[in-house]
Amino acid sequence: MKRKIYFLLACITMACMLSACSAKTAKQDEEVVETKQEEEVVLSEKQKKILKEAGLPQNYDELDAMQQINIRNIGLMLDYIENKYDKEFEFYKFYADSTGFEAPSLEVYPVDDSECIVTIKSVTKSDSKKITYTDDYMELQATSEYEQAVKNCIAERFQDAEFEAFSTINSMEEGEGDVLSKASAVTYVCMVDPFEKEEDALKAAEEVINYIKEKNGNKPLGIYYYMQTEEQFNRTYITSADDDFSDVEYKYRMTTNNNAARIEEK
């Protein structure tokens, strides 16, 4: 399937977050002054690269208070995730709220997988005011594994059919077992209809859902098939389960979940 490729100009986003949104509070000014008094700030090459692409000075002392806070946060978040997974990540997008009501967050991706957009969020513990970080890297890895497992299952039952499948995991158990046995998830499938009779397609779809239900102990799941012509399939631009499927053209749709399997005419 052809996919739309969306290019994000990180420098534009960064310029907005570091420059245009530079309304600062007295508290933020005090934080920067206190930081400078405690230690000399040395920017990493990645931080300098981000500033350069944003059209901002690469000298820390030439940045305004908000810009200093943001580039420091970016550096801390990059350090956090690279140390946690012993893996190199690249900057993608940064979000900061100049009012201070929302905690900053950073989007990055592994250098070897530019499609895996990881979100890092900062969390301040109310009891100690200590800042910690969370990320969804492992969840994204599990989603990729789950998606591939479902694709393999579909390919066995819809032989020689062109298709793309996009999954999202709602929850996942810890412990032993493969990803199909632990995940509660939803999958969307765009497929060139390989059957002459819709009933044959529905039978194959039921076999897929029943196999996964047996594997995962009947945890909540659903698989939605958009059965298409070749022409419709080639005009479909979907990149993930989070995309809007309302514009997808199809002959008919099949819904399979824990409770039922049915054909839905358009």
Phi/psi of residue 238, nearest 5 degrees: -130, 135
Query: In the chain, where does DSSP find H-type helix?
Result: 10-15, 26-38, 45-53, 65-85, 137-157, 179-182, 198-216, 230-234
142-200 per-position pLDDT tens digit: 888 999 999 999 999 999 899 999 999 988 887 788 899 989 999 999 999 999 999 99
Residue found by looking up tokens 């969370």 in the block = 134
Model pTM?
0.63
Burial class (CB in 10 A: 0-12, 13-18, 19+), 4: exposed
Residue found by looking up tokens 């008094």 in the block = 37
Mean pLDDT, consecutive 10-residue stretches, the chain (266 aa), reads: 41 52 46 52 93 94 92 95 95 83 90 91 77 88 91 95 94 83 94 96 97 92 97 94 93 95 85
147 contacts 167 by C-beta, under 8 angstroms: yes
Residue in 114, 228, 243, 102 with CA at minimum distance from that of residue 166: 243
